[in-house]
Amino acid sequence: MGSFAGITLDKLLSILPFFILGIIILFLLRWQINILSLTDDEGKSLGVNVTLIRTLAIIGATLVVASIVSVTGLISFIGLIGPHIGRIIRKKNDFNTGIFSGIIGAIILIIADSLARNISSSEIPISILTTFIGAPYLAYLIVTKDRRL
């Protein structure tokens, strides 16, 4: 279960190269990653090597996520809640929405961590609190998607 309690400077420094490498890869590919939302044929017609960009994007995302999860543990539903709220507020799906979604996810995570440390005498894992938000929100997304069809 995820927690920020065991994070030390040594742990952060040990993951820093992998995290920075992943962020650089994703930043350099940010425009091509938007094109991946199109079909493969449309992406190829725009001059993008879809297979290469998809592979590099997966490698970059894997480096970022794996480095963070290796230090904090699994914190559920933040990757679901942040992007959906960001898209709802901005009504776009571009690079700036990705940055905005990350900020929203960070705010939710800070609130959940503060609550986890203060609700009881011992620290509750953050995943328990994010699940209370994320599970109903996932159910809401499923129900509203079915209505739109």
Write the pLDDT tens digit of every residue in 107-119: 998 998 888 888 8
- pLDDT-derived band of residue 55, with 50, 70 and 90 as boundaries? very high
pTM of the model: 0.78
Alpha-carbon distance of 83 to 100, in angstroms, equals 8
Say what the pLDDT of residue 36 is. Answer: 86
pLDDT 10s digits, 68-93: 888 888 888 888 888 888 988 998 87
Residue 12 pLDDT exceeds 80: yes
- What's the rounded mean pLDDT across residues 119-127? 83
- pLDDT-derived band of residue 63, with 50, 70 and 90 as boundaries? very high
Other CB atoms within 10 A of residue 103 CB? 11
Say what the pLDDT of residue 147 is. Answer: 55
Asked whether 112 and 132 are in contact (CB, 8 A), the reply is no
> Residue 77 gets which letter from DSSP?
T
Say what the pLDDT of residue 146 is. Answer: 54
Q: Cα 15 to the chain's mean position, in Å?
A: 17
Say what the pLDDT of residue 149 is. Answer: 39
